[in-house]
């Protein structure tokens, strides 16, 4: 009974002498295995228990000093967590969810379109990009509108130029014809007695024999017509209608088809029964000509162009053709 009390006293003295960081572990270990710890403490203390050197500088001083041997140095399994694996296995959760950790916390992904951090920068960047694209689209639209306006303006200018050119050509032609009329009046009797409505029957010479054929009887006509790419000359009906219109409008000339000649029909004067003399204007130049309607010559030669052939045909029709 006395020995047991001594052991308990010694154990409590050793616990009190230990640092504060060891005391909880010792308390936990001792509570689990008191029988294993007691012999170690007894052996560590040597013979101090039996001799009562507890209060002297022997065993007690060794327990309290930092350099002495305390008997807990080789305490064995009594002061550790043990090396045996628990029956239920080691826990996979070595620390609580709220305990400290040396691992760097993972960044929490910000939801798209959030109002913090990188989300704001992305939103602002997208907005600026959208604004730039909108401005670019507006600029392209404005450029396209300006381009279309320029194209329309060019088209309007081109149309105006064409119209003005057409008007100038018409005006020049009208002026030229007026000059022809004036010159005709000044130099010739442009309206002789027969040059009136019903002029065909008013001609005071032998007429009515020219024409009436599908192709002229001139020997040169076939090869020349093939070279000119024509099949026939202007018909008598077309020439007669032109003279009728000119007489009714008090115009002193007719335009010869397929040529640049203006025939002053009032100047036609037969020379015999087959030849006719007349005046024409080629542009602003008056020209006197003679045609042999039977032989098909103009100023003594066969026509060199389809225009010359048409001029000879018109003069001969007005002089000797049927109406």
DSSP 196-259: STTHHHH--S--S-B--SSS---TTHHHHHHHHT-S-PPPHHHHHHHHHHHHHHT-S-EEPTTS
More confident site: 69 or 256: 256
290: which strand partners?
277
Choose among 205, 322, 213, 209: nearest CA to 268.
205
Together in a domain, 307 and 203: yes
290 belongs to a structural domain? yes
Q: Are residues 171 and 215 in the same domain?
A: no
Within-domain flag for 185: no
Name the one residue in this structure whose structure tokens are 């002193």: 252
- Quick one: tokens of 38? 């007691």
118 domain-assigned = no
Examine residue 281 and state whether it is found in any structural domain, yes or no.
yes
Would you state the pLDDT for residue 267?
Answer: 93
List all residues 6 or more positions away from 199 whose beta carbon is below 8 Å from its beta carbon.
243, 244, 247, 323
For residues 172 and 236, membership in a common domain is answered with no
| Burial of residue 71 (number of CB atoms within 10 Å: 0-12, 13-18, 19+) | buried
Report pLDDT for 239: 96
Q: Are 228 and 144 in contact (CB under 8 A)?
A: no
Summarize the confidence of residues 161-183 as an average pLDDT: 65
Instruction: Give the DSSP letter of residue 275.
Output: E
Same structural domain, 169 and 203: no
What are the Cα distances from residue 308, in Å, to 115, 181, 296? 94, 22, 11
Structure tokens at 298: 């103009």
Tokens 């017509």 correspond to what residue?
A: 225
- Residue 122 confidence (pLDDT) above 80: no
Structural domain range at position 271: 199-320
311 plus 216 within the same structural domain: yes
Q: For 210-236, how does the pLDDT look when each residue is reduced to its tens digit (9 = 90+)?
A: 987 777 889 999 999 999 999 999 999
**Do 136 and 66 reside in the same domain of the chain?**
no
Inter-residue contact 276 to 269 (CB < 8 Å): yes
Instruction: State yes or no: pLDDT of 48 exceeds 70.
Output: no
25 within a domain of the structure (yes/no): yes
pLDDT at residue 266, as a whole number: 92
Same domain, 217 and 133: no
The model's pTM: 0.46
* Residue that has been written with the tokens 């032109």 in this structure: 242
Residue 265: inside a domain: yes
Q: Which two tokens stand for residue 13?
A: 């003295």
pLDDT band at 33 (very low <50, low <70, confident <90, very high): very low
Whether 241 and 149 map to the same domain: the answer is no
Average pLDDT of 179-186? 56
The answer, yes or no, to whether residue 118 has pLDDT greater than 60, is no
Residues 134 and 232 both lie in one domain:
no
- Cα 315 to the center of its chain, rounded Å: 64
| pLDDT, greater one: 163 or 60 | 163
The whole-angstrom separation of Cα 77 and Cα 65 is 24
What domain count does the chain have? 3
Output the pLDDT for position 119. 62
More confident residue, 260 or 151: 260
């Amino acid at each position: 009974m006395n020995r047991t009390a001594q052991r308990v006293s010694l154990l409590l003295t050793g616990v009190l002498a230990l640092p504060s960081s060891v005391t909880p572990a010792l308390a936990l270990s001792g509570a689990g295995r008191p029988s294993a710890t007691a012999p170690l403490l007894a052996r560590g203390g040597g013979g101090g228990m039996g001799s009562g050197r507890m209060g002297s500088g022997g065993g007690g001083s060794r327990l309290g000093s930092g350099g002495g041997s305390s008997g807990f140095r080789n305490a064995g399994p009594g002061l550790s967590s043990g090396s045996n694996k628990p029956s239920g296995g080691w826990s996979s959760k070595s620390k609580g969810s709220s305990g400290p950790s040396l691992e760097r916390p993972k960044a929490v992904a910000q939801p798209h379109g959030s109002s913090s951090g990188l989300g704001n920068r992305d939103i602002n960047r997208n907005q600026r990009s959208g604004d730039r694209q909108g401005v670019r689209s507006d600029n392209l639209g404005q450029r396209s509108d300006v381009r279309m306006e320029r194209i329309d303006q060019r088209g309007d200018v081109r149309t105006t130029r064409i119209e003005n050119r057409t008007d100038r050509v018409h005006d020049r032609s009208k002026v030229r014809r007026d000059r022809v009329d004036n010159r005709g009046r000044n130099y010739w009797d442009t309206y002789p007695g027969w040059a009136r409505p019903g002029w065909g029957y008013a001609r005071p010479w032998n007429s009515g024999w020219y024409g009436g054929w599908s192709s002229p009887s001139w020997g040169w006509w076939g090869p020349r017509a093939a070279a000119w790419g024509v099949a026939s000359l202007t018909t008598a009906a077309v020439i007669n209608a032109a003279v009728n219109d000119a007489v009714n409008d008090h115009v002193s000339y007719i335009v010869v088809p397929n040529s640049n000649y203006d025939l002053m029909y009032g100047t036609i004067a037969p020379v015999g029964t087959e030849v006719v003399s007349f005046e024409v204007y080629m542009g602003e130049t008056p020209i006197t000509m003679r045609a042999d309607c039977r032989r098909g010559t103009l100023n003594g030669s066969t026509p060199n162009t389809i225009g010359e052939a048409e001029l000879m045909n018109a003069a001969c029709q007005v002089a000797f053709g049927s109406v």
